Structure formats: C-alpha cells, structure tokens
Amino acid sequence: MATLIKELVGVRPNFLFIGADRCGSKSLHQIFRQHPECYVPSIADPYFFDRHYDCGMEWYLGLFAAASPTARAIGEFSHDYLQSPEAAARIATELPEVKLLVTLRHPIDRLFSSYASAVSAGVVSTPLEHAIEDVPWFIGNSFYADRLQVYYDLFPRDALKVLFFEDLQANPRTFADQAFRHVGLNAIDGIDYDSRYSQLSKSRWPLAGKATKVGANTLRRLGWVSLLGHLKSNTAFRSLFYKPLAAEERPSIKPEARKRLSAIFAPQIDRLEVMLGRDLTSWRS
C-alpha cells in the first residue's frame, strides 16, 4: 500500500476545473483531452472533493495513474466544486499548489440551462417559476460572487483563472488558449475547438434520467470512471436512454420571471464586477 501511494504521488493533478455547471465544462474537457501534453480522465465530473471524498486520496489519485511522464498539465473537471465550501477546503488541504479554472455564464442563462436540462432528463416537471422555489440550487448555483469568495479566501488570487461562457461562444480558440496558458500549456493547432458536447435531450422512458444518474454515481464509487467516461461519450449507448429534444419541446422563461431573477442577481453582479474587474453590463438584462 505504501509503495502504491509513493508511486502515485508523482501524478497528482496540478489543475482542476471547478465550475460552474452549464458553462461549457464538457466542451472544455474535450478540448483539454486533445492536447498532447495534457492528461485528464475520460470522465468529466468524478466529483471526488464534494461527493466521494470518503473514497480516499488513493482512489482519487488512481484517476491519474495513466498520465504520461511527459504530461505538463494533469487535472480533472468537476463542475460542482465551485458550489461546495467543503470541497474548497479539501482541495486547499490536499492540493495547495493546484491551479483552478472557472467558467461563468450570464446567471439567468445558466439557471435556465440547468432547469431545461433537468426537465429534459425527466428529473423536474414543474414550470420554472415553481422549480426555482422547490430547488434552491437553481438560483444558488448562479451566486458566483459568494462561491468565488470562498476560493479566494483559501488560494492565492493568481491560482484562479475565471473565464466566461460568452467568450467560449464568440471565439472558442481564444477562450481555450487562456485556459491552456493558466495551466502551463501552449496553444496548438490540430484541436477541434468548435464542437459542443452538452446538448439538451429528452428521456426515452419514465425515470430514465434518474436511472442513469444512479448508475453513473454507482460506477464512480466503484472506481470505474474510465468505463463511465466511455459510456457517456458513446452516442449509441446514450441513445438507449435519451433522444433529441425538439425545439417546440424546450421549456421557456416568462418575462416576469426573468425580471424577478434579474433583481435577485443584481447584487451578485455588482460584487463580481469589482472582484474580477470586468464590465458585466450585458448580464443585467
């Protein structure tokens, strides 16, 4: 056991993507997987520091055992770490030198994308106006200033690189270059920067969404994350549970709900502008 731990010390991750959800994490994960000097597990969202910390560091470090000795950047993508103060504290304890990547998105657009994803998976069935009351994290996950402050209190400011989903949409190559530089990688040609990997779909049968989530978490806890990664990226396997969501089936957000949410998020946006030194006027509508 001691020998195994010693062998794994050399492949500790030196970067983590910590969130937020519905902000391009799957696309960025696939971009990083294509870089020849980078290693990330095939599975996005192992959720170790928030949900599976009891599995232990030996289990976690095993995710990186296949990393090449020449890899300059080794890391993983778990988009819920940003929402967890416990995860932040654990990361600071276990990986004090780690570089952190964050992507943020218009808070209402992120909330709505998260809601639409839950609806399409069959996890939520109520209108958005009711869902935001029943599921507090729909709103809470867009409280970026609160969430970032936890990490700024634990890590040097230059350890965090905050990127924006809107920049990914506008120029994915430039967006990826910023992320690469933060973790010590050079930008290169030959990478598919334009594909998107988190499209809305619909459950083919009742409880399919819940069943796949339970199955995924079971595979994570068993340590079969490579298998899970292959299954999630296999379109034929995924089509057994989900089908494309037609435009007319997509949920919508009413103007009055958007106005209410704008008022809720305004103080967070004010703080975030000061915190990051970025004009976020486009987020105020």
pTM of the model: 0.86
Please give the C-alpha separations between residue 116 and each of 137, 142, 227, 235, in angstroms, as whole numbers.
Answer: 14, 15, 27, 20
Model confidence over 52-94: pLDDT tens digits?
999 999 999 999 999 999 999 999 999 999 999 999 999 999 9
pLDDT of residue 6: 40
Query: With bands split at pLDDT 50, 70 and 90, how would you rate the model's confidence at 2?
Result: very low
In this structure, how many other beta carbons lie within 10 angstroms of the beta carbon of residue 255? 7
- Of the CATH numbers 3.30.470.20, 3.10.129.10, 3.40.50.11290, 3.40.50.300, which one belongs to the domain with range 2-283? 3.40.50.300
**Alpha carbon distances (Å) from 52 to 19, 30, 216:** 17, 23, 13
Comparing 38-47, 110-119, 182-191, 205-214, which segment has the lowest mean pLDDT? Answer: 205-214
- Mean pLDDT (the chain) is 88
